[in-house]
């Protein structure tokens, strides 16, 4: 029993403690720093493995700590939190390897990796949060931990981007805070429970609940980059590539999307939300975001900005799946939480490799890069095809379930067109990149050629992470129906959310 209480805390500590230690390391101790980083990441992965096994066998992992009367810090592992924790942990490990390679010989690495560890701690904390109060706590902590990462380069552009990021997220955090406090004064401690908790509480005014829902979704929508709250995301692109990768795949935007999932399913309850008429507006916002993000992505020449708008669009698939009533759509939304992470992190790693190795920042500079960097470009191709929704890459599975779910819920009339437009637009902004990279002739000389003489196209620490995540994205698609797959896990969650 002791372990069950301590496991969530240990999982947090496995990145918090290395982070705090790293702050105090001098710049030169790169060996020790790498060791701390990697051992923390591997240890976390092992601990999460134990947790998956336990949750599968219906063990209860819960830590509680009273901060003030009525305000409890609760860390609790349920099937949904395990899904997000696993995703964060796996991608953290990969990103750590990548970041070590990426930042080799750059200044202020102790500061960077310190905040990097804090960022993952906050993400895992909000994944494990057992009530809305704890969620808000880690949601704010995540803002604080990522701000120095976005501003890391210290250039005026980076400082400006970070300031925009901060203005959006702190404002959103405040709105979320007010909504949470308001709901808590009406309904008591908001412990997450499958099927929701509000329906069983008597005497709640539906209009008030709708206003509170609006506050919560606006607060979460800032991080989830719902239009029109997405303005910070393209500007936060000035961050170093590993940060962008983590921001887009797991940490920040996913925190928002995960929060929306929690609020709809485990606080309001999906059926109760539907009866309050909340799902329609949420679905409309998600559909608008999906189309708008894709349209904006079309006209971006900067590769990372194009990927950023693609994120704006893709993350809203999760919100879309949440907004459609029915277990199949739930599966589609939740499974995309994993799929978008795998695919987008691959794309950002690849973009970082182009920038680091060849100095390529723009789509228009990518002619013939496929032959120069085949491994990276192959990974990029897998990610891009997945985003479009080409089988057998993971993205196809998400869209399949979303479409099935919309038919089941009778919402096919608007959801399927949105999915089709989005896929078309995705193809329009990804396929030209692939065409340039593979089929156009390479220029005489690259903007920058810093690759070391070696058998590989770039440093190993830069090449293997995107390859690994691309393989994972492929495997997630190919093996989705295999036993013990993430899809089966998500179906388990979806089955429990409907009574």
Partner 1 sequence: MTSLLILPVALPLLMSLLALIWPARVNQIGVATGLLIVLIGSAIVALVAGNGVQSQVLGGWQAGLGIALYADGLTAVMLLMSALIGLAASTFACRYFAGKPTLVQFWPLWLLLQAAISALLLSADLFNLYVALELLGLSAVALTALGSGRAALKAAVDYLLLGLVGSLVFLAAVVLIYARYGTLDMLLLGAMLQAEPITWVALALFTTSLMLKCALFPLHFWLPAVHANAPAPVSAALSALVVKVVFYLLLRLWVDLFAPVITPALASVLGVLGAAAILWGSFCAIRAERLKLLAAYSTIAQLGYLFLFFSLLVVMPEGAQRQLLYGALLLFALTHGFAKSALFLAAGEVQQRLGHDRIAELGGFARALPTTLFATALAGIALIGLPPSGSFLAKWQLMAQALSLGHWYVVLVVALGSLLACIYLFRLLGCAFSPGLDKAPPVVERRAQLSPVMMALIATIVLGLGSHPLWQLLADVGGGGV
Structure tokens at 99: 């970041």
Nearest to 44 by CA among 94, 111, 100, 102: 94
CA 36 – CA 110 distance, rounded (Å): 11
Single out the segment in contact with partner 1 by CB under 8 A; choices: 50-58, 70-78, 428-436, 445-453.
70-78
Three-state DSSP class for residue 66: strand
CA 429 and chain centroid, separation: 21
Spatial distance between the Cα atoms of 286 and 320, rounded to a whole number of angstroms:
5
Residue 25 within binding range of partner 1, rule CB under 8 A: no
DSSP code, position 135: H
Q: Report the residue from 20, 42, 45, 159 that binds partner 1 according to the rule CB under 8 A.
A: 159
The single residue among 25, 45, 181, 295 that binds partner 1, judged by CB under 8 A, is: 181
What residues contact residue 177 under an 8 Å CB cut-off, 6+ apart? Answer: 136, 140, 219
The verdict on 497 binding partner 1 (CB under 8 A) reads no
Among 9, 144, 461, 478, binds partner 1 (CB under 8 A): 144
The span of 51-59, 60-68, 94-102, 266-274 binding partner 1 (CB under 8 A) equals 60-68
The distance of closest approach from Cβ of residue 184 to partner 1 in the complex, given in angstroms and rounded to an integer, is 7
Pick the closer one to partner 1 by CB: 151 or 437.
151
- The least CB distance from residue 226 to partner 1, in Å, is 20
Question: Which CB, 127 or 419, lies closer to partner 1?
Answer: 127
Q: Which residues pair with 376 in a beta bridge?
A: none
201 sits near partner 1 (criterion: CB under 8 A): no
Give min distance, CB of 75 to partner 1, in A. 13
Distance CA 9, CA 140 (A): 19
**Cis amide prior to 395 (ω within 30 degrees):** no
List 70, 228, 374, 443, residue binding partner 1 (CB under 8 A): 70
End-to-end alpha carbon distance in the chain: 30
Q: For residue 131, what are the β-bridge partners?
A: 191
Least distance to partner 1 from the beta carbon of 189, Å? 12
- Residues with Cβ within 8 Å of residue 389, at least 6 apart in sequence: 395, 396, 398, 399, 423, 426
Residue 210 in contact with partner 1, rule: CB under 8 A: no
Q: Does 154 bind partner 1 (CB under 8 A)?
A: yes
- Is there binding between residue 452 and partner 1 (CB under 8 A)? no
Q: Which is nearer to partner 1, 71 or 420 (CB)?
A: 71
| Number of shown-chain residues binding partner 1 (CB under 8 A) | 29
User: Residues interacting with partner 1, by CB under 8 A?
Assistant: 65-71, 73, 136-137, 140-141, 144, 147-148, 151, 154, 159, 163, 166, 170-171, 174, 177-178, 181-182, 184-185
């Amino acid at each position: 029993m002791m372990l069950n209480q301590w496991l969530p805390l240990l999982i947090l500590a496995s990145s918090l403690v290395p982070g705090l230690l790293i702050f105090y390391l001098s710049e030169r101790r790169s060996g020790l720093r790498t060791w701390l980083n990697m051992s923390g990441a591997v240890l976390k992965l092992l601990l999460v493995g134990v947790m998956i096994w336990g949750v599968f066998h219906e063990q209860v992992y819960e830590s509680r700590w009273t901060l003030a009367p009525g305000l409890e810090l609760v860390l609790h592992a349920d099937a949904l939190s395990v899904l997000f924790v696993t995703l964060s942990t796996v991608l953290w490990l990969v990103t750590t390897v990548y970041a070590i390679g990426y930042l080799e010989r750059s200044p202020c690495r102790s500061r960077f990796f310190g905040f990097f560890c804090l960022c993952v701690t906050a993400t895992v904390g909000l994944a494990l949060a057992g009530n809305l109060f704890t969620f808000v706590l880690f949601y704010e902590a995540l803002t604080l931990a990522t701000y120095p990462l976005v501003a890391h380069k210290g250039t005026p552009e980076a400082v400006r981007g970070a300031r925009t990021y901060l203005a959006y997220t702190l404002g959103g955090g405040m709105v979320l805070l007010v909504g949470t406090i308001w709901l808590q004064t009406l309904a008591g401690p908001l412990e997450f429970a499958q099927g929701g908790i509000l329906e069983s509480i008597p005497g709640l005014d539906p209009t008030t609940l709708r206003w509170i829902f609006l506050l919560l979704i606006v607060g979460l929508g800032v991080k989830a980059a719902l239009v029109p709250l997405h303005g910070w995301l393209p500007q936060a692109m000035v961050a170093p590539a590993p940060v962008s990768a983590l921001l887009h795949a797991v940490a920040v935007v996913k925190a928002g999307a995960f929060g929306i999932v929690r609020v709809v399913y485990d606080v309001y309850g999906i059926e109760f939300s539907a009866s309050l008429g909340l799902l329609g507006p949420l679905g409309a916002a998600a559909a608008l975001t999906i189309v708008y993000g894709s349209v904006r992505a079309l006209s971006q020449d900067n590769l990372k900005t194009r990927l950023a708008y693609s994120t704006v669009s893709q993350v809203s698939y999760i919100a879309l799946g949440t907004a459609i009533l029915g277990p199949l759509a739930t599966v589609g939304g939740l499974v995309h939480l994993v799929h978008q992470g795998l695919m987008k992190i691959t794309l950002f790693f690849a973009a970082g490799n182009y920038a680091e190795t060849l100095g390529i920042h723009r789509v228009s500079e990518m002619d013939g890069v496929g032959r120069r960097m085949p491994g990276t470009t192959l990974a990029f191709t897998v990610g891009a095809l997945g985003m479009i929704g080409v089988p057998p890459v993971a993205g196809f599975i998400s869209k399949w379930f979303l479409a099935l779910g919309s038919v089941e819920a009778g919402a096919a009339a608007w959801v399927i067109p949105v999915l089709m437009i989005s896929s078309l637009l995705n193809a329009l902004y990804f396929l030209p990149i692939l065409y340039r990279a593979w089929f156009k002739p390479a220029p005489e000389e690259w903007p920058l050629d810093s690759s070391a003489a070696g058998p590989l196209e770039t440093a190993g620490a830069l090449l293997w992470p995107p390859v690994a995540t691309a393989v994972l994205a492929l495997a997630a698609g190919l093996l989705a129906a295999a036993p013990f797959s993430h899809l089966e896990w998500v179906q388990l969650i979806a089955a429990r959310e409907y009574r």
